[in-house]
Structure 1
Amino acid sequence: MIQQENQLDTARSSVTVPIKELEKLKAKVDKSREAMDKSDGLYKQSVENLEQARITWETDMEEGCQLFQQLEEDRIYKLRDILWKCTNIDSQVCVDCDESCEIVRQCLEKCDIQKEMLDFIQTNMTGTDRPVRIEYENYFDNSRDKSPILRRRPPQLLPPLKSPKRLSPKNSNDYSVYSSIS
């Protein structure tokens, strides 16, 4: 454009340049000026569009960041709440377990081993008679009597139970339920 204006100014100052040539140069300058104005308008519109896009992007970015921050805060809050509740549940389970253990300890303190043993014996004993002794009988012996007689020992009664003083591994034979084998 500047070059064309310079050519037009040079041609005007020169006397030898024909008028037709001068009009062509003037038309060229006008055409270049119109193209320059049109390009400047397009550039201005592009800059305005770019600025509008930047403002839109900035607004969307700010909204997105606020949304992501809110989501992260909610996530942290929920995670903290869940962990807090789990910790409280674990703590309550420990307290309940300790209370149960204390109840068991209290019951065990009341336990009298000698009394429990005597109660067990009285409740579960099978009787005072010993089982009958089983004799060996040879079925292949031809000389045996055809009428077998079972040999039984007369039942022996147990002596009355004595109240034990203390049951310990040293004197555990003191409390036999059966009579001794003779």
Structure 2
Amino acid sequence: MTGSLFKGNFWSTDIPSTIGHKTILQHLNHGRQNCEEVEDFLKERASIEEKYGKDLLSLSRKKPCGQSEINTLKRALDVFKQQVDSVAQCHIQLAQTLREEARKMEEFREKQKLQRKKTEIIMEAVHKQRNLQFKKTMDAKKIYEQKCRDKDEAEQAVHRSANAVTTKQQEKLFVKLATSKTAVEDSDKVYLQHVNALDKIREEWQSEHVKACEVFEIQECERINFLRNALWLHLNQLSQQCVVSDEMYEQVRKSLEVCSIEKDIEYFVNQRKTGQIPPAPILYENFYCPNRNAAAPGKATGTNLARRGPLPVPKNLPDDPDYSLVSDYSLLYQ
């Protein structure tokens, strides 16, 4: 069954044509280029993953994130930074894995290139030999056909000059005819030899072409399978990265679940409390009060804190001897 096989679909009715072989090679070259593009894509993705991982690692280790937090929330934040650090390490590891996959793809591509080169060298030699023999055969055919035309002309000349020329001229025509017949026979033998040689070379070329088609088809199957599996593996690696990252973030979620508002408040109070007795009220002190310990106006604090009353009015008359009147007194010194 050759319905969809290379060896049954890349021929040409023109013997020296190489269109089928060139078509296959062009497709294989495109396949090699596609492998290079995927390889470069993986390398670029690896660079992105590595840069992201390093930036994330730098963020986790250098950037403070709730460094003054306390108790359960502090532990949750510590777990958060630890897991971010782990996620960063995973991205860096993923970058290394992607570079390894790109290296494997490069090795596979080079291996196919060497295998294909061996077949191409054989086919180039066969094509050269076939085309050279085809040219020789076509040249021999032209010579043979020309000799045949020369013989026909000689025969016609003999028939035309049967009664119009001398005996000597007729002899010349007969000699020419005989010579042309001999030339036809010789050229016919050479032409036939070249045809037989070409047929043998054609069979060898067809056999090598079938082998080359089989080799190239196997390579194409391997390339498609390798590239498909490489992409499948790449997606699995990305999915695994997501799973691992989610597992690490789940650790943070678990630490947040045990974070207790009440415990953190209680912890803060127990560790930082400054006292349980509020300050006493500031009392009012009257400057004129003897004990200067009176309460503020309007607030009674005890029997000894009564507000001072008005000054006493003297009962004695102004001319009482107990009172001294000072006259002609001046505050200015004379």
Q: Are the structure 2 counterparts of residues 121 and 67 from structure 1 closer, same or farther at C-alpha, using a change threshold of 3 Å?
A: farther
Superposed counterparts of 1:31-70, under 5 Å: 31-70=179-218
Q: Quick one: distance in 1 between partners of 2:269 and 2:224? A: 64
2:177 pairs, out of 29, 33, 37, with 29
If the length of structure 2 is used for normalisation, what is the TM-score? Answer: 0.33
Q: Quick one: distance in 2 between partners of 1:79 and 1:10? A: 78
Larger helix share, 1 or 2 = 2
Identity of aligned residues (%): 32
Q: Are the structure 2 counterparts of residues 60 and 113 from structure 1 closer, same or farther at C-alpha, using a change threshold of 3 Å?
A: same
Q: Quick one: distance in 2 between partners of 1:4 and 1:93? A: 91
Q: Quick one: distance in 2 between partners of 1:89 and 1:15? A: 100
Superposed counterparts of 1:1-182, under 5 Å: 1-9=151-159, 14=163, 17-18=166-167, 20-120=168-268, 122-123=270-271, 125=272, 128=274, 158-159=275-276
How far 1:28 moved relative to its partner? 1.3
How far 1:73 moved relative to its partner? 1.2
User: Which structure 1 residue ranges, 5 or more long, are not aligned?
Assistant: 129-157, 161-177
Return the letter of the residue paired with 1:111: C
Return the letter of the residue paired with 2:166: V
How far 1:86 moved relative to its partner? 1.7
CA deviation digits over 1:73-121, x for unaligned, max 9?
Answer: 1111111111121222222222223333333323222221121233245
The secondary structure found in structure 2 opposite 1:159 is coil
Q: Are the structure 2 counterparts of residues 116 and 42 from structure 1 closer, same or farther at C-alpha, using a change threshold of 3 Å?
A: same
CA RMSD, Structure 1 to Structure 2 (Å): 3.3
Q: Are the structure 2 counterparts of residues 29 and 87 from structure 1 closer, same or farther at C-alpha, using a change threshold of 3 Å?
A: same
Q: Are the structure 2 counterparts of residues 93 and 7 from structure 1 closer, same or farther at C-alpha, using a change threshold of 3 Å?
A: closer
CA deviation digits over 1:37-80, x for unaligned, max 9?
Answer: 11212222232333334333333332332222222211111111
How far 1:31 moved relative to its partner? 0.6
Ranked by relative contact order (alpha carbons within 8 Å, sequence separation 6 or more), the top structure is: 2
Q: Are the structure 2 counterparts of residues 107 and 7 from structure 1 closer, same or farther at C-alpha, using a change threshold of 3 Å?
A: closer
Q: Are the structure 2 counterparts of residues 46 and 159 from structure 1 closer, same or farther at C-alpha, using a change threshold of 3 Å?
A: same
Q: Are the structure 2 counterparts of residues 44 and 121 from structure 1 closer, same or farther at C-alpha, using a change threshold of 3 Å?
A: farther
Return the letter of the residue paired with 2:153: Q
Q: Quick one: distance in 1 between partners of 2:201 and 2:165? A: 55
Q: Quick one: distance in 2 between partners of 1:120 and 1:47? A: 105
User: Which structure 2 residue ranges, 5 or more long, are not aligned?
Assistant: 1-150, 283-334
Q: Are the structure 2 counterparts of residues 105 and 33 from structure 1 closer, same or farther at C-alpha, using a change threshold of 3 Å?
A: same
Report the more deviating stretch, 45-54 or 34-43. Answer: 45-54
The secondary structure found in structure 1 opposite 2:238 is helix
Q: Quick one: distance in 2 between partners of 1:66 and 1:102? A: 53
Q: Quick one: distance in 2 between partners of 1:120 and 1:76? A: 64
Report the equivalent of 2:31. Answer: none
